[in-house]
Amino acid sequence: MELPATIFIAMGAVLAAFISGIFAFVNLVTSKDQKTSEFRQIWIDSLREDLSRFISLVDHMASLLIYYQETCQNHDEMMKRYDKSLHDNHNLVAEIRELHTRILLRINPKDDLALVESLEEVHKLFDSNVIPESSMEIEEKINKLVYSSQFLLKNEWRRVKRGEPAYWVSKYFALLTIVIFIGVSFWVVNHYQELPMNVLDDKHNKTMQPTANAAAD
């Protein structure tokens, strides 16, 4: 049995309104995701700048320490000359400590544990009581910090490109909902088209019977 055209018009209107609502929701989530991604990109750039400056200054001071380790006659002489270098470069040391604090405040100590540990190990180079005696150990600590920094920045950049979890979850949910709604609409249309004429007439008569009885009374 053919359905009246008004049913298709009504279903089309409902479908259009439903899809419009879905797209409005997705646009809202997308706008929020874009703003969050902008803030995250600014955070990444600032963290990269701080890490780059921190590693550069630490590498400079570590080079002095390695030089003293290789040229001084004994450990006491080396420590004396290194302490003097720390004093002479107190502005650089102060900047290193400031950058160390800023970086720690920018990262999550639980999620970025490897970077936190590397920062602390390198920061100990400026504590006379725990300075490594091997130049190789110093270089390993700095290289570990560089690797940890690269790993964190790379993961955060991937997250920016991929988008926030709420964005892609809502996107796929919206697409799935639209597909389901369209599928249900087609099923309803096909179901009524396949019903026998007498079944539809019986349903129509049962619906109209109370109205006819009321009019007769």
203 vs 24, more confident: 24
Residue 7, amino acid: I
Reduced DSSP (H G I as helix, E B as strand, rest coil) percent helix, strand, coil of the chain, to 5? 90, 0, 10
Q: Per-residue pLDDT tens for 128-183?
A: 555 666 677 778 888 898 899 888 888 888 877 776 666 666 667 667 776 776 77
Q: Which range is most confident: 120-129, 144-153, 199-208? A: 144-153
Write down the H helix ranges in 107-196: 113-123, 135-162, 165-194
Query: Where are the chain's structural domains?
Result: 48-166
pLDDT at 11 over 70: no
CB burial class (10 A; 0-12, 13-18, 19+) of residue 59? middle
Question: Is-contact 57 74, C-beta < 8 A?
Answer: no
Question: Is-contact 170 25, C-beta < 8 A?
Answer: yes
pLDDT at 49 over 90: yes
Per-residue pLDDT, 214: 46
Question: Is-contact 209 13, C-beta < 8 A?
Answer: no
Per-residue pLDDT, 37: 75
Per-residue pLDDT, 58: 85
